[in-house]
Amino acid sequence: MPTYEQDPKELLGEDIQQIATPDDSDFYMETPSLLSAVNPFTSDQRVQQSRQAAFRIDNSLGSFIASAPFSQFDRVDGYNPFDNDAADIKGYEDFADSFINSGSPEETLAIKHRIDQQKADREYLSEVGGAGTISSLAMGMIDPVNVAAMFIPAGAVARGGSIAETAGRFALANAAGSVASEASLQATQETRSAMESISNVAVDALVGGILGAGAQVLAGAGAREAVVNSVGNNLRGMDSHQSIGAAQVFNTTLDQEQLAGLGLANKTLSVTPAGRLAQSPSLVSRQINQQLAENNYFFAKNDEGLATFTAAETKIKQYDAMLYKQMETTRDAYQQYSKSVSASGAKRMNFVDFNEAVGMAMRRGDQSDIPEVAQAAASIRPIFESTKARMQELGILPEDVDVVTAQSYLPRIYKFDKILSDRTEFRGRIANWIQGISAKGADKAGQRIEKINAGLKNAEESAPRAEALASDIAEAEKWSGKKILLMEELDKRNKLISQEADTQARLTRIEKQLADTSSERLQARMMKESSDLKTRLDDIAQAKEELPVYQRHMELLDNPRKYRSELRRLQKRANSTTRLNASRERALKQMEPLSREEAEDAADEIVNKIIGAPSGLVPADIIPERLVGRAGFTKSRTLLIPDERIEDFLESDVNHIMESYLRQVAPEIELTAQFGRKDMGDQIRQVSEEYTRLIKEAKTPKQRAALEKQREADIRDITAMRDRLLGTYGAPQDPRSFFVRAGRVARNVNFLRLLGGMTVTAATDLMRPMMQHGLRKSLGPMASMLRNMDAVKIATKDLREMSVGLEYVLSTRTKAIADLTDPYSRRTAFERGLNWMTQKFGNWTLMNQWNSVLKSWSGMIVQSRILDAARQISSGGEIAKTELRKMAQVGINEDMLRRIGEQFGKHGEDMDGLLTGHSHLWDDRHVREIFQAAVLKDVDSVIVTPGVGDTPLFFSKEGWKLITQFKTFIFAQHNRVLVSGIQQGDASFYLGALGTVALGSMVYMMKQKLSGRDIDYSWNNLVKEGIDRGGMIGWLSEPLNTVENVSGGRFGLGAMFGAPPVSRFQSRNAIGAMLGPTFDLGGDAATVAHGVLNGEFDSQQTHAARKMLPFQNLWAISPLLNKVEEQMK
């Protein structure tokens, strides 16, 4: 049984360039050729931009216009740009004179912008080499001052004059004009230095002299050929050879992010969010659009070899490879299990039960009594581990996250039908868990109170000890710096105390002698000595009392850190009374467990939040706020009930769980990797800030109002596409309501009853690879495929690592075309069965197989094309500019091609002309991701698969889904085929378009034949049908065909060609044509009911009844129903 290792480095994305600092390797500029530079009608935008820059820098009129006065700024009283150490002009100190008359912060900012523009213009003219020089010369020649100087009499050729004289006159005329021009430019440009002007005047005089001498020579016996050759050689020397990719790195401009192609065709993109953002006046919006949503557009920058950004949407789609591998692993494990059970004769589980057994094993450490179940669980586990590691890397999950509700992690997806049908039981289990947690919390609270009481007693005892120690330290500090004196005092008292025994003995002896003597004189002497001894004993007693105090002082001074630390400890303990009392109050509160009524109320609230979650992946914080702080509950509000206690209310089908899980985490991971946060807060702020700048620069209130409106529109479109990726845009407030669920069922039924012949309709897809890549590049891999099927198998497996050609298992394109990509489905058993049937229906119609084959073919084409270009570049060769433009369009610049070529040389192989890179083995992660994303993007554009930016926003609204079902594809085709092809603008597209029309005509004939209707072979009808079936007028066909149906053929595409109405709408009633297939079903039901009630069940009612049947136009069933319908007429 094959298993699939899930290496996070191979399957997950890495952070790529942010908008503010794009990846340097994506921005290389080619020096324009001199031919373009001297052509006044060139369409080369680099030359046009250089002329605009030269007009502002080297033409006095252009410079004057660019430095228009700032009278629109209101002066601010007391404002001085040089206040606060000239903080307002920091970085612009070299141009301080320009700010002297600035009267407001806004005017200072405008002056800075003007200086920045001048510097940018100079840099750009330098970057484009000879084209910049020619542009500067041209703009200087049409300078009004220089034109006027041409009429100075000094600048004339004198017949028979000397060369020196004529040269002098021309030099004088040029110098005069140059002085006037430079004076004007000096007055209007901050960045123009005096030395530059002096140099320009000298050069102009020199050039004037040379031209004068040349003119005099040519006016006489001319050596015209020699002069022409000389000038030509000099001009050619100005254009140094530079290949694309070797130019200086720079950030793209608004012009470079402009859509290529015809403006009228591009305007038709304005109905979709991606199309609107691509034409936004905001540079940041255009860049975010490319980084967020996948597109197939060509941009002006692609002509320069600058790559389109890789979209987060493309990176998210790459997670389909994970889902595919998981499903295939589970399927293979089930086949192995079936063989084992058949051999043993035991009872076999069905596939759904097996999938649920795998899910349950994944909650139990991937262990099961069934070896195949355990093996499948262990094989799937790396997907969760890799996504967890990626989320930890991006900061989405904490590093110490752990599983506490089961032995091992499996996402919780709730069985809504089970919860709704047995709510009391589910609520009771949660209430029991809440009460159990509360009771344990109460016991722990009691134990905490005992510890708190001990702490309070300790605090009470510590207060006097701290006070005494503080007093001792204060007294000891009085001796600080007097330690010698303190030691002397200690010695003095120690000596005195050491005399105590001798003094006491002498006193005893004298008192005895005093009692024995009768001599008064002797008695007097002895009494005095006795008194002295007693005084000394008193001193000794005092010394004994004082000695410990002095010793304490000495000890404190010898160990200051020790006793200060002890003092802090005692004070902290003494001061903890307030904190401990507060903890005691909380613990007393937590000692009271929740009542049963409180637990059931909380459980009710939790159940409501669960069944209100749209996709089953409920929010983390669902514990009611009021329980926080009660017994057993902390600030965390996560429902931590063990999975096993509610397992029968949880989905265990690992296929469904994995699909739901990846649908949630993939957008969160890739949006965070691309933009720093999944809510894109920083990028939205950048858009708003750019519009603030644009609004300030606007000249009129009307322009400012328009820009403010555009800002709101851009932010709306960005957030909408973000939310479409997250699966939350247009989410119903109550996904379990009858109308929402009925609409979902209706869309599935419409799919089953109307799209049985969609594979025949998809025959026009055959021309798409040739339309996008040309006949030779498309048929080349096909020839290799026919010669070497083993190579095809290897290449197909390689493509599956990139999420290409997975349709047979995932049905991605079919669901997108039928508008069944609904994250709020799988509620009841009926709905689950309907979802299963729609998946299988894609296989029964052979549409999934068709999509898999065509996407694999397209993947081989684009992979071979990229690798062939990369191989040429990495070997030191060159590729055509049209090829480099195509590479840039899919997201690969020349430097990236070189790196791809290096990886291909290490890991790829050329299998008889079919190139495959084995990119999952590449050791350069960034190159691998760019390459795989480019292949996937191109494949989903060739075999059109709708994306988040391809349809109008209202298509995501629940009510509109009923009306717009099956219209998603035509909008995606308009964007990815029609407009992109016009932008592509080569013979491949137009020849492919003709072939598509031909195939569309063929589809019409096949559909007519299958439905038993007559075929109209007139040329105008076939062309009309070919255009409509081939989608060659994009979304415009929808309103045209609707009008045609409603008007009875008087208006519309058929009327334009003088032919009958289009056959695609022939079976729809007027209601269905306007309001979609669901209302068309209602119209058919009304037709049938009318016939039954009136007893007139004719061919109209028969056909209406047939259209209501699922599978009625499936290729295997339709011929039989045709005969039945014919017999019932």
The secondary structure of 81-99, three-state, reads CCHHHHHHHCCCHHHHHHH
**pLDDT of 736-777, one tens digit each?**
777 777 888 888 888 888 888 889 999 999 999 999 999 888
Per residue in 847-885, pLDDT tens? 999 999 999 999 999 999 999 999 999 999 999 999 999
Spatial CA neighbour of 952 closest among 940, 936, 963 = 963
Q: What is the mean pLDDT of residues 338-353?
A: 89
pLDDT at 1126: 78
pLDDT of residue 242: 32
What was the pLDDT predicted at 219?
Answer: 46
Determine phi and psi for 914, rounding to 5 degrees.
Answer: -100, 110
Each residue of 680-728: pLDDT tens digit? 999 999 999 999 999 999 999 999 999 999 999 999 999 999 999 998 8
pLDDT at 655: 92
Count the helix, strand and coil residues of the chain and give each as a percent rounded to the nearest 5: 70, 0, 30
Q: CA torsion, points 512, 514, 518, 519, in degrees to nearest 10?
A: 140
Q: Where are the alpha helices (DSSP H) in 142-272?
A: 144-149, 163-188, 194-219, 224-238, 263-267
- Tell me if 131 sits within 8 A of 36, measured CB to CB: yes
Task: Give the residue among 874, 865, 943 at the shortest CA–CA distance from 905.
Answer: 874
For the cut 90, the answer to whether the pLDDT of residue 338 exceeds it is yes
Which range has the top average pLDDT, 81-90, 449-458, 715-724? 715-724
Q: How far apart are CA 826 and CA 656, in angstroms?
A: 9
Residue 915, strand partner residues: 910
Q: Which residues pair with 916 in a beta bridge?
A: 909
- Whether 999 shows a pLDDT value over 70: the answer reads yes
pLDDT range class, residue 593, cuts 50, 70, 90: confident
DSSP 733-754: S-TTSHHHHHHHHHHHHHHHHH
Phi-psi region of 676 (alpha: psi -120 to 50; beta: other; left: phi over 0): left
Each domain of the chain, given as residue ranges in start order, spans 27-238, 263-317+670-718, 320-413+652-669, 416-443+590-642, 459-581
The DSSP secondary structure of 823-856, one letter per residue, reads: TT---SHHHHHHHHHHHHHHHHTTHHHHHHHHHH
pLDDT for res 43? 67
The dihedral formed by the CA atoms of 419, 423, 427 and 428, expressed in degrees to the nearest 10: -120
SS3 of 710, please? helix
Rounded to an integer, what distance in angstroms lies between the CA atom of residue 411 and that of residue 384?
9
DSSP state of 910: E
- Structure tokens that stand for 267 in this block: 């305007």
Q: What is the mean pLDDT of the chain?
A: 81
Nearest to 661, CA basis, from 830, 807, 653, 403:
653
At 823 the pLDDT is 55
Supply 956's token pair.
């995501």
41-49 LR contacts (CB < 8 Å, sep 24+): 44/303, 45/255, 45/256, 45/258, 45/300, 45/303, 46/128, 46/131, 46/304, 47/128, 47/131, 47/135, 49/124, 49/253, 49/255
pLDDT greater at residue 468 or residue 1028: 1028
Q: Is 996 in contact with 771 (CB distance < 8 Å)?
A: yes
C-beta atoms surrounding 350 within 10 Å: 9
Rounded to 5 degrees, φ, ψ at 281 are -75, -5
Q: How confident is the model at residue 586 (pLDDT cuts 50, 70, 90)?
A: low
pLDDT band at 262 (very low <50, low <70, confident <90, very high): confident
pLDDT at 165 over 70: no
* pLDDT attached to residue 479: 82
pTM of the predicted structure, to 2 decimals: 0.68
- In degrees, rounded to 5, the angle at the alpha carbon of residue 881 between the alpha carbons of residues 880 and 884 is 95
Residue 239's pLDDT is what? Answer: 36
**Could you give the CA distance from residue 142 to residue 148 in angstroms, rounded to a whole number?**
10
Provide CB contacts within 8 A for 268, sequence distance 6+: 275, 974, 979, 1034, 1035, 1036
Gyration radius of the chain over CA positions: 44
Closest CA to 656 of 807, 806, 836, 838: 836
Q: Which two tokens stand for residue 913?
A: 């002309």
Taking the CB of residue 584, how many other CB atoms lie within 10 A of it? 16
- Cβ-Cβ contacts under 8 Å for 84 (sequence gap 6 or more): none
Q: Which residue has the tokens 């603008």?
A: 985
Q: Retrieve residue 30's tokens.
A: 């080619």
Residue type, 1124: V
- What are 803's two structure tokens? 């999420």
- Which of 298, 261, 290 is CA-nearest to residue 274? 290
| Cβ atoms 690, 284 nearer than 8 A | yes
Q: What is the pLDDT of residues 238-258, one digit of tens each?
A: 333 333 232 233 489 999 999
Nearest C-alpha neighbor of 363 from the set 657, 71, 113, 82: 657
pLDDT digits (tens, 9 = 90+) for 783-806: 777 788 888 899 999 999 999 999
Q: Of 748, 693, 654, 700, nearest to 322 (Cα)?
A: 654
In order, the DSSP letters of 567-619 are: HHHHHHHHHTHHHHHHHHHHHHHHTSPPPHHHHHHHHHHHHHHHHTSSSS---
Q: Which two tokens stand for residue 93?
A: 């100190």
Please report the pLDDT score of residue 241 as a whole number: 35
Structure tokens at 907: 């890991």
H or E stretch at 895? helix 894-907
Q: What confidence category does residue 921 fall into, taking pLDDT thresholds of 50, 70 and 90? A: very high
Q: What CA–CA distance (Å, rounded) separates 978 from 1031?
A: 8
How many CB atoms are closer than 10 A to CB 805? 25
How many of the other CB atoms lie within 10 Å of CB of 724? Answer: 24
Q: Which of 510-514, 615-619, 674-678, 1005-1009 shows the lowest mean pLDDT across its residues? A: 615-619
3-state secondary structure of 414: strand
Q: What is the pLDDT of residue 30?
A: 56
End-to-end CA distance of the chain: 55
pLDDT band per the 50, 70, 90 thresholds, residue 363? very high
Please report which confidence band the pLDDT of residue 1026 belongs to, taking 50, 70 and 90 as the band edges.
Answer: very high
Could you tell me what percent of the chain has a pLDDT over 90?
35
The highest-confidence range among 181-185, 657-661, 829-833, by mean pLDDT, is 657-661
Residue closest to 386 by CA, chosen among 801, 921, 932, 9: 9
Q: Are the beta carbons of 149 and 180 closer than 8 angstroms?
A: yes
pLDDT of residue 358: 96
- Mode of pairing for the β-strands spanning 914-916 and 909-911: antiparallel
CB 759 within 8 A of CB 1115: yes
